Amino acid sequence: MPEDEFDWIKDHTPENYNHKGLIEGIGDDAAVYGYESDYDEILCVDTMIEGVHFKKQTMSPEDIGHKALAVNISDIAAMGGIPVYYIVSIALPADWSDEELSGIYQGMNDLGQMYCMDMIGGDTVSSPHDLMISVTVHGRVEKGCHLVRRSAAPGDIVFLTNPTGRSAAGLQLLLQRGREAYYSEIERELLSYHQKPVPRVDAGRVISALHVSASLNDISDGLASEVNELAEASNVSIELYKSQIPIAEELHSFADKSFWDWIFYGGEDFELVGTITETAWPMLQKNMAEQGLTIYQIGRVKEGAHLVTLLDGEQKITLEKQGYNHFK
């Protein structure tokens, strides 16, 4: 496994592509290409593996299907696009039943229908050990309106669609007690953020419809890591203000130390984090509110070579790009 996937990808990205219609190749949440049409097309794939991304102890078959599709819809959302079609590839070990397999498809179907998506193909092969599910999603976005990570500029507002950290809190509960145990209502909420995350397509659409300079990224590997990606891709530094970071109510019963860790390094929130010009920020707030969607200012883009710092009163802490590891 390459030590830094980001560097590894950079080394393996071709300098030139063959097709002139390619708009975004390797390196963002999804690829974008265009033909003779008013829309550009988006394509992305994500794979989930038993024992790495989920366990039977933490996720039902329906949850697994839901999440495998959700992570891809989230990539489309992070490009400002509309998800349209998906294709599924499942490698199934002998200890998974046909009912469980059907449950996985049910979970995908239930989520896909919420976005009017169609499953248009796929294959099922046998797997010697672990269940693997790989989902490809095709989406669309109005020509020239897709959002990338590299558009952050000094002076921009850094925004976040919803509080982070609840998925990680839910995972901790699941690892402690298993998914069949008793949970309070609040705890079940947290479980749901982990098992059935909701991709923020609507929010992505509001941002891309503004037609202003904005950058966008979805939070799969933790807020700290994804803000670092924005900073690196845009060659800027970013300051986050601890007093502005939203804290989910459900987290208040946990110790301070745990929930701040989850908020910055928890992973699998599938919220959107991005940047927008100060001029456009009020309009974004207004449009989001009109759609019944939340958005929080959490920081500012600064000049400099992609340092991400958290300001807490007088204190300055560097937020490292620390990858999220599900079960460690």
Binding to a second copy (CB under 8 A): which residues in 90-109? 91-92, 94, 98, 101-102, 105, 109
Q: Is 46 annotated as a binding residue?
A: yes
Q: Is 182 annotated as a binding residue?
A: no
Q: Considering the rule CB under 8 A, would residue 89 count as an interface residue with a second copy?
A: yes
Q: Is 12 annotated as a binding residue?
A: no
Binding to a second copy (CB under 8 A): which residues in 17-46? 17-19, 22, 24-26, 30-31, 33, 35-39, 41, 43-46
Looking at residue 6, the DSSP 8-state letter turns out to be H
Alpha helices in the chain (DSSP H): 5-11, 61-77, 98-114, 166-177, 185-195, 201-209, 223-234, 256-265, 281-290
Q: How far is Cα of residue 179 from the mean position of the Cα atoms in its chain?
A: 23
Cβ atoms within 10 Å of 197's Cβ, excluding its own: 24
Q: Considering the rule CB under 8 A, would residue 240 count as an interface residue with a second copy?
A: no
Residue 254: C-alpha distances to residues 165, 170, 184, 186, 291 (Å): 11, 12, 14, 12, 32
Closest among 218, 194, 244, 226 to 319, alpha carbons compared:
226
Closest among 319, 189, 322, 316 to 266, alpha carbons compared:
322
* Least Å from the CB of residue 61 to a second copy: 14
Q: Is 221 annotated as a binding residue?
A: yes
* Least Å from the CB of residue 237 to a second copy: 27
No. of helices (H) and no. of strands (E), the chain: 9, 13
Binding to a second copy (CB under 8 A): which residues in 106-135? 109, 113, 116-130, 132, 134
Name which position in 84, 147, 251, 276 contacts a second copy (CB under 8 A).
Answer: 84
Binding to a second copy (CB under 8 A): which residues in 132-191? 132, 134, 136, 138, 140
Residue 183: C-alpha distances to residues 56, 189, 285 (Å): 18, 9, 35
Which of residues 14 and 292 has its CB atom nearest to a second copy in the complex? Answer: 14
For residues 251, 256, 259 and 262, what is the CA-based torsion angle, rounded to 10 degrees?
Answer: 180
* Number of residues near a second copy (by CB under 8 A): 66
- φ, ψ for residue 223, nearest 5 deg: -55, -45
Q: Is 256 annotated as a binding residue?
A: no
Which of residues 138 and 300 has its CB atom nearest to a second copy in the complex? Answer: 138
Note the residues at the interface with a second copy (CB under 8 A). Answer: 1-2, 5, 8, 12, 14, 17-19, 22, 24-26, 30-31, 33, 35-39, 41, 43-47, 49-53, 84-85, 87-89, 91-92, 94, 98, 101-102, 105, 109, 113, 116-130, 132, 134, 136, 138, 140
Known binding positions: 29, 46, 53, 75, 105, 122-123, 149, 218, 220-221, 268, 324
